[in-house]
């Protein structure tokens, strides 16, 4: 197949308009027929992606422009899913860096750009959302250039092409003063500035597995780029495993990409990104090659995890009531299956058969896994996330994060004070003209555990917080992350309005009347530093003169909603989050003894 090809990745900070821009490119390319109902963010096919408005899994599509096939890989913008970014950058020869015209480069911009520059890619910079109020396109370009210099870009990479765009309005242009009508300038930039893929057709086949998919009809499907040689449907091929073992099998199906669909191919050559069926045991990073002359490509390297938590079998009094998969074997099998596709995840078995140590890139990375499992019917419990320490040059070190806060002026002092207590060091402070201030910090990763909820309170919900992994540094000493104690139920039953109303002065509740509770379950936050046990199932004694409707004018304060992410950030070292398909509960570890009220 001699069709001209361009392979390009789209990289950006989360919420800078990456997926919306891909939508505009797809619509411009004419892959949707006239009158077809096209959803927004068509590349975000996962339910969790649509709900949260973020890209979690790297996905690829292909469009044709002027007889050139352009493979576009949409990558996650969140550093927690950096494993997805690292493995797909090996498939492409160029990248489009999207930067918000108002915000400029953000922590994840730094993260994904660093990975692209290390691969030697020369980015095309797109300043997006130029039609929004407060947009400063030229200021954003200056910040991007400074970031390129800071990340050690070479002269060619620093001489980047810049376009101005609005993904929502569906236009891109070379000069800010021009009239923007469509996405043609971006297509032209891809043709002129992204090099065609290198690869030798005469060499033996080499295809590196970068993504795994599954089909009920075809079984496991491997997706990757052909680095050398040619591949044909029905031919014999060899898979070089991570341990060097060679497995031979027949390619039962060869698929290419056309828009959002996969199309069957007879053959494909070097430079193409294809999907291949027939290798049931293939894993990410392994090489599909010629059986006569098997030659493996270097394995994909990804950054190591920085956070760890314990997944264990649910042993609460309500265990097994709401979940379908509840045994240690079922949980273990599901975690091991996740390892096949989630390259940044690590799973270790502990000294107990019912506990597994799961390590990931951050709270969001692990939180998405937990949410996915509970939606699949799994029931289990997890511990507080802990940072992973490492030894660097013989010294114990811990992970540090680069943190950017965008806060109202009134909250600046309290945020600086609180981060100082958590060993954060302020690097920069920029006062905006719109009553907001941007603060930059470096902070130990453990100093950020549990900070998000506190940050929401400090800024009255108006603050924006972004952070990404920076590096490992020597230990910073004790980090103060103290929070108030918790309110704990000391008996099993159903929470009543009467009991909750009587205890309202003790703190804020996480539950409402009618919630089933058990002994040791956390039902709220105490106003004081100590933990306190309460009877939240107590009922009022009724008499002839006192009816059950006597309190109907009384109202309870609205309970604090404990979402999964909030629960993971909130719990202490002696607490657990019980996760089921129906509920998210907080509880104390069983051995904890407390004074009753």
Give me the domains of the chain, ranges plus CATH numbers.
5-193 (3.40.50.300), 206-289 (2.40.30.10), 307-387 (3.30.70.870), 390-474 (3.30.70.240), 486-588 (2.40.50.250)
Determine if residue 292 is labeled as part of a ligand binding site: no
Q: What is the pLDDT of residue 487?
A: 92
Determine if residue 18 is labeled as part of a ligand binding site: yes
- Residue 410 tokens read as 């009134």
Q: What is the pLDDT of residue 40?
A: 44
Averaged over successive runs of 10 residues, the pLDDT of the chain (597 residues) comes to: 78 72 74 43 42 47 83 65 65 87 76 81 89 84 89 86 86 85 87 86 86 76 87 89 85 83 85 86 84 83 80 92 92 87 81 89 81 91 90 88 86 90 88 81 86 82 79 82 82 90 89 92 90 88 57 73 84 90 90 49
Determine if residue 167 is labeled as part of a ligand binding site: no
User: pTM surpassing 0.85?
Assistant: no
C-alpha pair distances (Å), 114 with each of 195, 284, 469, 473, 550: 20, 22, 12, 19, 65
Determine if residue 130 is labeled as part of a ligand binding site: yes
Q: What is the pLDDT of residue 305?
A: 82
Determine if residue 464 is labeled as part of a ligand binding site: no
Determine if residue 78 is labeled as part of a ligand binding site: no
Q: What is the pLDDT of residue 14?
A: 64
d(CA 590, CA 517): 15
Q: What is the pLDDT of residue 246?
A: 87
Determine if residue 522 is labeled as part of a ligand binding site: no
Determine if residue 434 is labeled as part of a ligand binding site: no
Please, which residues have CB within 8 angstroms of residue 324's CB and are 6 or more apart in sequence? 377, 378, 379, 581
Determine if residue 327 is labeled as part of a ligand binding site: no
Q: What is the pLDDT of residue 223?
A: 85
d(CA 429, CA 521): 42
What is the DSSP secondary structure assignment for residue 594, as one 8-state letter?
Answer: -
Determine if residue 19 is labeled as part of a ligand binding site: yes
> Sheet of 171-173: strands edge to edge?
59-65, 68-74, 5-12, 94-100, 123-128, 161-166, 171-173
CA end-to-end distance (rounded Å), the chain:
77
């Amino acid at each position: 197949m001699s069709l001209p090809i361009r392979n390009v990745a789209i990289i950006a900070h989360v919420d800078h308009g990456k997926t919306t821009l891909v939508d505009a490119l797809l619509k411009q390319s004419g892959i949707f027929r006239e009158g077809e109902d096209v959803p927004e963010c068509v590349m975000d096919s996962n339910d969790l992606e649509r709900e949260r408005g973020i890209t979690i899994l790297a996905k690829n599509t292909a469009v044709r422009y002027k007889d050139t096939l352009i493979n576009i890989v949409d990558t996650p913008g969140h550093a927690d899913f950096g494993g997805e970014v690292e493995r797909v950058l090996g498939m492409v020869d160029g990248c489009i860096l999207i930067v918000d015209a108002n915000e400029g480069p953000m922590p994840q911009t730094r993260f994904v750009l660093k990975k692209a520059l290390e691969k030697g890619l020369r980015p095309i910079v797109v300043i997006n959302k130029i039609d929004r109020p407060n947009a400063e396109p030229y200021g954003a370009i200056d910040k991007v250039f400074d970031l390129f210099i800071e990340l050690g870009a070479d002269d060619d990479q620093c001489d980047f092409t810049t376009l101005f765009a609005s993904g929502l309005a569906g236009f891109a242009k070379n000069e800010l003063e021009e009239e923007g009508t469509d996405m043609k300038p971006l297509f032209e930039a891809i043709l002129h500035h992204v090099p065609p893929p290198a690869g030798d057709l005469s060499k033996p086949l080499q295809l590196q597995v970068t993504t795994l998919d599954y089909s009920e009809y075809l079984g496991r499907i491997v997706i990757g780029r052909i680095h050398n040689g040619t591949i044909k449907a029905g031919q014999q091929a060899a898979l070089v495993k991570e341990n060097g073992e060679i497995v031979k099998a027949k390619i039962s199906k060869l698929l290419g990409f056309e828009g959002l669909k996969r199309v069957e191919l007879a053959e494909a050559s070097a430079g193409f990104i294809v999907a291949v069926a027939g290798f049931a045991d293939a894993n990410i990073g392994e090489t599909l090659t010629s059986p006569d002359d098997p030659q493996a490509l270097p394995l994909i390297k990804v950054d190591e995890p920085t956070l760890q938590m314990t997944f264990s079998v649910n042993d609460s009094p309500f265990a097994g009531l709401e979940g379908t998969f509840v045994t240690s074997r079922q949980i273990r099998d599901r975690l091991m299956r996740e390892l096949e596709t989630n390259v940044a995840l690590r799973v270790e078995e502990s000294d107990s058969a019912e506990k597994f140590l799961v390590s990931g890139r951050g709270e969001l990375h692990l939180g998405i896994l937990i949410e996915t499992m509970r939606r699949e019917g799994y029931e289990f419990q997890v511990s507080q996330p802990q940072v992973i320490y490492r030894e660097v040059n013989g010294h114990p070190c811990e992970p540090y994060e680069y943190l950017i806060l965008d806060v109202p002026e009134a909250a600046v002092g309290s945020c600086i004070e609180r981060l100082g207590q958590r060993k954060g060091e302020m690097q920069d402070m920029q006062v905006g003209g719109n009553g907001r201030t941007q603060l930059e910090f470096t902070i130990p990763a453990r100093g950020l555990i549990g900070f998000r909820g506190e940050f929401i309170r400090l800024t009255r919900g108006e603050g924006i917080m972004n952070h990404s992994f920076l590096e490992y540094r020597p230990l910073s000493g004790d980090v103060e992350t103290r929070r108030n104690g918790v309110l704990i139920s000391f008996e099993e039953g159903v929470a009543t309005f009467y009991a909750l109303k009587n205890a309202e002065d003790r703190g804020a509740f996480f539950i409402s009347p009618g919630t089933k509770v058990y002994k040791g379950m956390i039902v709220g936050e105490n106003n004081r530093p100590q933990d306190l046990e309460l009877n939240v199932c107590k009922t009022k004694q009724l008499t002839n003169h006192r009816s059950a409707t006597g309190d109907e004018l009384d109202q309870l304060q609205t309970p604090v909603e404990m979402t999964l992410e909030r629960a993971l950030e909130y719990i202490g070292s002696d607490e657990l989050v019980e996760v089921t398909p129906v509920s998210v509960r907080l509880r104390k570890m069983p051995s904890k003894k407390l004074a009753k009220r």
